[in-house]
Amino acid sequence: MKKLLETDFVIYDRANDYVIQFSSGGIVIYGDENEALIDCKGDDNAIPCTELPEHWRNILLTQINK
């Protein structure tokens, strides 16, 4: 079983509890913080995936363990 790594980043909007996703619904995971920062807009923040709220971490764990 794969685990979330603090070196993998996602773009998260805390105000709206939203994670950037592909049109297919999968959460976009960045291997580099700077790449994630480039894609941030508005209230978005690039954060380690380990810092997501628990419900998003669970969704991401399900995604990477398919």
- Dist. CA 11–CA 29, nearest whole Å: 8
Q: How many domains does the chain have?
A: 1
pTM score, two decimals? 0.93
Residue 48 lies in a domain: yes
Contact 32, 38 (CB under 8 A): no
Residue 58 lies in a domain: yes
**Host domain of residue 48:** 9-64
* CA nearest neighbour of 44 among 27, 19, 23, 22: 19
* CA nearest neighbour of 36 among 16, 62, 54, 13: 13
29: helix, strand or coil:
coil
Residue 2 lies in a domain: no
Each residue's pLDDT tens digit, 13-58: 999 999 999 999 999 999 999 999 999 999 999 999 999 999 999 9
